Amino acid sequence: MVRWRVGHATHIGSRSSNADSYRFGSHITGRAVFAVADGIGSKPGAAEAARIAARTTISAAVATGTAMQALLEASHHLDLEQPGGSFGDTVMVVAVMSPATTPGTVSWDIAWVGDCRAYLLDADGLRQLTHDHTKGQRLRDAGIDELTAARFDNIVLTSVRNAINDPAGIGTASVTSKGHQRLLLVSDGVSKPLPDDMIECALTEFSNPKECARALVELGVLDDRADNATALVVDTIIAS
């Protein structure tokens, strides 16, 4: 049997409003769903788009069991629920946790658009499960130097609103892991300012997921120009 506990934190940073959103939920089958969304831009429509996407994704993933289908459902709902006539948009990562067929293992189904990230810490160490959909990352992948690529990290190439018309643009990953493990979902307000070794240090140092999420967010907003920052930390507990 697999149980889980979750901790979460969010901070406005230096912005005038917080356009990040997060949700989680579970199903009687043992399936659990977690999502972090980051509204694009600072207009009210961005925050509302993130809330719609996170809410819709959780209910859809609980029903379907697949992260990609849930993200597509969120894209569909953004078209149905254009907030106040504003065409808000958002990036997002969603993770579906299911007990695997092998005892003591957990399967993770991940889908994302934009630059929200998922990390997994288990016996093999820290792994980034997502790959940023940004112009900056595309330049890195093409061999362009870091100084040049970093200037374009704020340009996202995929989003929830566009996913329904370009499902091939949705990133997906699947991983099965054994034993106790910790999943981290974050907006770029955490992942951009913090290097992987600092993220891994926080994930290993704080045993309580809520304290861990709070520490990551607090580190993410230390800069005077800090973005909205959100972290959702999930611990799996393998019952014998």
Q: Where are the domains of the chain?
A: 2-130+158-230
Q: For residue 234, give the amino acid letter.
A: V
Beta-bridge partner residues of 113:
92
> Among 149, 148, 114, 117, which Cα is nearest to 134's?
114
Residues 48-88: pLDDT tens digits? Answer: 999 999 999 998 988 877 999 999 999 999 988 864 456 79
pLDDT value at residue 84: 47
Between 158 and 84, the higher pLDDT residue: 158
Of all helices (H) and strands (E), which one includes residue 177? strand 171-178
pLDDT value at residue 65: 79
How confident is the model over 96-119, as a mean pLDDT? 91
The yes or no reply on domain 2-130+158-230 and CATH 3.60.40.10 is: yes
As a whole number of angstroms, the distance between CA 205 and CA 91 comes to: 29
> Which string of b and e fits 153-186 if b means at least 16 CB within 10 Å?
beebbbbbbbbbeeeeebbebebebeeebbbbbb
Contacts of residue 72, defined as CB under 8 A and 6 or more positions apart, other chains included, come to 163, 164, 167, 170
Classify 152 as helix, strand or coil.
coil
The pTM of the full predicted model, rounded to 2 decimals, is 0.95
Q: Which of 77-81, 100-104, 158-162, 201-205 has the lowest mean pLDDT?
A: 100-104
Tokens encoding 161: 């609103």
- Contact between residue 49 and residue 83 where contact means Cβ atoms under 8 Å apart: yes
> Among 9, 62, 55, which Cα is nearest to 35's?
55
